Amino acid sequence: MMAIGNNFFYTRSLPCTLWFFDRAKEQDANQSDKVLMLDARKIYRKVTSKVNDFSPEQLQNLICIVNLYRGNTNKFTATVNSYLETYAALAKETAEATTDLQIQFQKAHKTVSDFAGQYAQENKATTVFADALNIEEIAIIYEQQNKLIADAGKATSHSDVLESIAHLCKALRKPQDKLIKQLLDVIAAAAKEYQLNKNKDWKDLNLKKQLDRLKALQLQLSGNPDESEPGLLHETEYFWKQAHWLQSRFPAGVYTDVEGLCKVVNQQEIAAKDWSLSPGRYVGVDTAADDDFDYEERLSEIHVELEGLNEEAVALASAISENFKTVLL
């Protein structure tokens, strides 16, 4: 029995339970009285705001659980090894792109800083331009990038640095994007404020080519959520998470009941619960935090929604007040 969460149907948002009948159990005295209860309501991939599905890897993970329950450990081992091999290859690709990004950022930042310093000497009122380029986070992000590059160079499917690389991929994504945005914003603001496009020395820098290359590397690493491009940082971390998801729940590579996920029950236990076939009643509740859920992003979304609702409430209150005055007249 497998419980599926909401929004897996295009026309209905209801959850469901899948029943799998195994005729081979009749021939196995040890399995004939047992039922695997699998609660997959917290396992899904968000396709749109109203539609969920399983990613190919999530499906493989569920298949692995069923195979372990049936005593087949080969599927589990092969799946974990496949994830780790893919992860190690992506880690090396991520390190190469990160190296290129760091070089390109340093080059663009130095070019603009040198120009801003010279420009500030000639135009005292423009020191704010040069000051804006002194970004405090640069040293910290360079340190994280260098650590990622060094660890990825040692990455194999069974090396000790795999977890460190995954954490660095997650830690770098937002600060790295923010750093690049800061640089681009400073350049755009200065170009507009001081009309640098009319300055010959500024034109000679040929910054557009450098910045286009920087943006391309950022897109390669961070992706584009609007076009379903996850980017190398996300993909690398993702395959580590899939391997870790399986290994942390079944560390010995054999089936075991997992709180909040799966449990093997017999007919007596089912009878004791009034013959309920809802997996959630048997597997319990997983109290661990969901690492895949971006709480910060969701809080920001809620804040934006709240502001919109507040604006609507003010507009409605004003309309009601005006209509009430009309009625009294």
CA of 198: how far to CAs of 110, 202, 203, 253, in Å? 21, 8, 8, 67
What is the SS3 assignment for 262? strand
Check residue 293 and give its pLDDT: 56
Q: What are phi and psi of 46, to 5 degrees?
A: -85, 115
What is the SS3 assignment for 286? coil
Domain locations in the chain as residue ranges = 2-73+254-293, 91-235
Mean pLDDT of the chain: 88
Q: How confident is the model at residue 21 (pLDDT cuts 50, 70, 90)?
A: confident
Lowest mean pLDDT across 130-134, 169-173, 230-234, 286-290: 286-290
Report the distance separating Cα 22 and Cα 34, nearest Å. Answer: 11
Structure-token pair, residue 229: 């491009």
Structure-token pair, residue 32: 């004939």
Check residue 123 and give its pLDDT: 74
Q: How confident is the model at residue 94 (pLDDT cuts 50, 70, 90)?
A: very high
CA 238 from centroid of its chain's CA atoms = 7
Lowest mean pLDDT across 25-34, 51-60, 67-76: 25-34
pLDDT digits (tens, 9 = 90+) for 102-127: 999 999 999 999 998 888 777 765 67
Mean pLDDT of the 149-174 span: 88
Mark 278-296 as b/e (b = at least 16 C-beta within 10 Å).
ebebbbeeeeeeeeeeeee
Q: How confident is the model at residue 169 (pLDDT cuts 50, 70, 90)?
A: very high
User: Are the C-beta atoms of residues 96 and 255 closer than 8 Å to each other?
Assistant: no
Q: Does the pLDDT value for residue 250 go beyond 90?
A: yes
Percent of the chain with pLDDT strictly greater than 70: 93
User: Are the C-beta atoms of residues 39 and 279 closer than 8 Å to each other?
Assistant: yes
Report the distance separating Cα 16 and Cα 278, nearest Å. Answer: 10
pLDDT digits (tens, 9 = 90+) for 285-315: 876 655 555 566 667 667 777 888 888 888 8
Q: How confident is the model at residue 196 (pLDDT cuts 50, 70, 90)?
A: confident
pTM of the model: 0.82
Check residue 85 and give its pLDDT: 94
**Rg (Cα) of the chain, in Å, rounded?**
28
What is the SS3 assignment for 224? strand
CA 101 from centroid of its chain's CA atoms = 21
Whether domain 2-73+254-293 has CATH 3.40.50.9100: the reply is: no
How many helices (H) and strands (E) the chain has is answered by: 11, 6
Check residue 59 and give its pLDDT: 96
